[in-house]
Amino acid sequence: MTYLIYARKYRPKTFEEMIGQKTVVQTLQNAIKNDRVSQAYIFSGMRGIGKTTAARILAKALNCQHGPTPTPCNKCEFCKEVNEDHSVDVIEIDGASNRGIDEVRSLREGVKYRPIHSRHKVIIIDEVHMLTREAFNALLKTLEEPPPHTVFIFATTEFHKVPATITSRCQHFEFKKISQKEIINHLLDITKKENITLSPSGLSLIAEASDGSLRDAQSLLDQAVAFSGEVINDEDLKEILGTIKREILFKFSESILGEKPGDIFSLVENVIEYGYDLRFFYKELIQHFRNLLLVKSVKKAQDLLPLNEEDINDLQEEAEKASHEELLRYLVVLQQGEQGLKFSSHPRIYLEAFLVKLCHFKKIAPLESIMLEIEDIKKGMENPSGTKFTENTIQKETIRQEEEEPEFHNQKMSEDVSKEIVKQSSKKEREIEAALKDPSVQSFMNVFNARVLSIKPIKRGQEKE
């Protein structure tokens, strides 16, 4: 018997088997029932949440011998052909590797003819945002006058990159992340069917790591079974989910802090060879930079880090290679990159490009911080005493402003302006509030016992004052 990965083995064959995506499923089923199927759909959302699966079920629903029906039989010739990936009328194209005008032209030629066996030709273009501009234009011509027997389904992880000329001609469905609970239930179901032993905490570990993608959850389970066999203990699982070897993390920080972009490619290759999930690795890298910043910032790092003395010494040595403020900037930027990596359809390339950029980071000063620096210099010229920007000054500032306010009114300042001031300061409060909701900011604040004074980009060269 050939071994089937869980993602294929457990691919839903009917709308009813789909997990989550209730609105999408219901709308599609109703459209089929009422004979109101659109000629072009666009399915958007992150990887592994059922876009391709839904597209295939829709294709079967349209072409099933007993249909069109919202409940395709999966037994007739048409349904079977789709399930086995060899239907001549259901064509799946990967937009990432067939990006050009020629592919779209031959597609246009193809849809001129009626479907060979079925009622409908169904064209599924995956990662449609990857098509070139010429290819989009050619596609647009087809969408403007779609052949009557054809249904287009475009899938994309990056909806915002699909031109509006295309999206405006499609019915759009946004697929949602799968909830932790649904992922856990699904994994539980697989473990029962496959006779796998996995603790509840193990299930949560996988669900958490897969971050809303059912396919990621399935492939992590695949990996765990390959590693441990049918009995998976939590320790093995943690190993697989990648407590990435510290050595590798240090190599990465070495090349970033040492500005050696050339090293990144082979390091990423290493990570992949070890079999680590890239998104998981990335989380560990963020944690590593957080540790570097921590040992640089606090005297008794051993109280805050569950590491032995030797490990802390290594971190301290590494942290010597950058200033406190540089480390903070690396950390902030790494965090900003996490979302992009999650949604990227080419995580490896995304990661490589991102880390290469980080290697050049010391050379780049953000424009905003240069402007702030200039402002500082200007202020220094106006105020030679060079008052430091401390909490104290801020408090004094506020008191001064409060005292000054009645005077403003004496000057018959218009109500609009004072309203504007209130609006501005409550906007600032809201910004601070929003920032504090970010768990990473929260943990940072807790670790450093800090308070937010204002939300502004970090100034360069301030710490040496």
Ligand X SMILES: Nc1ncnc2c1ncn2[C@@H]1O[C@H](COP(=O)(O)OP(=O)(O)O)[C@@H](O)[C@H]1O
Residue 76 in contact with Zn ion, rule: CB under 5 A = yes
Residue 18 token pair: 């789909």
Contact 16, 71 (CB under 8 A): yes
Residues 309-348 that bind ligand X (CB under 6 A): none
- Looking at the Cβ atoms of 52 and 118, the one nearer to Mg ion is 52
H-helix or E-strand spanning residue 68? none
Site string for ligand X, 185-224 (x = CB under 6 A): -----------------------------xx--x------
CB of 215 to ligand X, least distance (A): 4
Residue 219 in contact with Mg ion, rule: CB under 5 A = no
One DSSP character per residue, 185-238 reads HHHHHHHHHHT-EE-HHHHHHHHHHHTT-HHHHHHHHHHHHHHHTTEE-HHHHH
- Looking at the Cβ atoms of 255 and 344, the one nearer to Mg ion is 344
Of 46-54, 65-73, 128-136, 427-435, which segment contacts Mg ion by CB under 5 A?
A: 46-54
Residue 365 token pair: 């000063």
Residue 294 token pair: 């921590």
76 binds, among Zn ion, Mg ion, ligand X, none (CB under 5 to 8 A by kind): Zn ion
Contact 121, 149 (CB under 8 A): yes
Distance, in Å, from the CA atom of 391 to the CA atom of 341, rounded to the nearest integer, reads 37
- Looking at the Cβ atoms of 52 and 218, the one nearer to Mg ion is 52
Residue in 21, 29, 52, 218 binding Mg ion, rule: CB under 5 A: 52
Count CB atoms within 10 A of the CB of residue 214: 27
Judge if the upstream peptide bond of residue 147 is cis by omega within 30 degrees of 0. Answer: no
Distance, in Å, from the CA atom of 302 to the CA atom of 55, rounded to the nearest integer, reads 53
261 binds, among ligand X, Zn ion, Mg ion, none (CB under 5 to 8 A by kind): none
Residue 14 in contact with Zn ion, rule: CB under 5 A = no
Residue 119 in contact with Zn ion, rule: CB under 5 A = no
Partners of residue 172 on adjacent β-strands? 42
Number of H helices, E strands in the chain: 22, 7
- Looking at the Cβ atoms of 10 and 152, the one nearer to ligand X is 10
Backbone φ and ψ of 121, nearest 5°:
-90, 135
CB of 29 to ligand X, least distance (A): 15
Task: Point out which residues bind ligand X (CB under 6 A).
Answer: 7-8, 10-12, 18-21, 47-53, 155, 178, 214-215, 218
* Residues forming the site for Zn ion (CB under 5 A): 64, 72-73, 76, 79
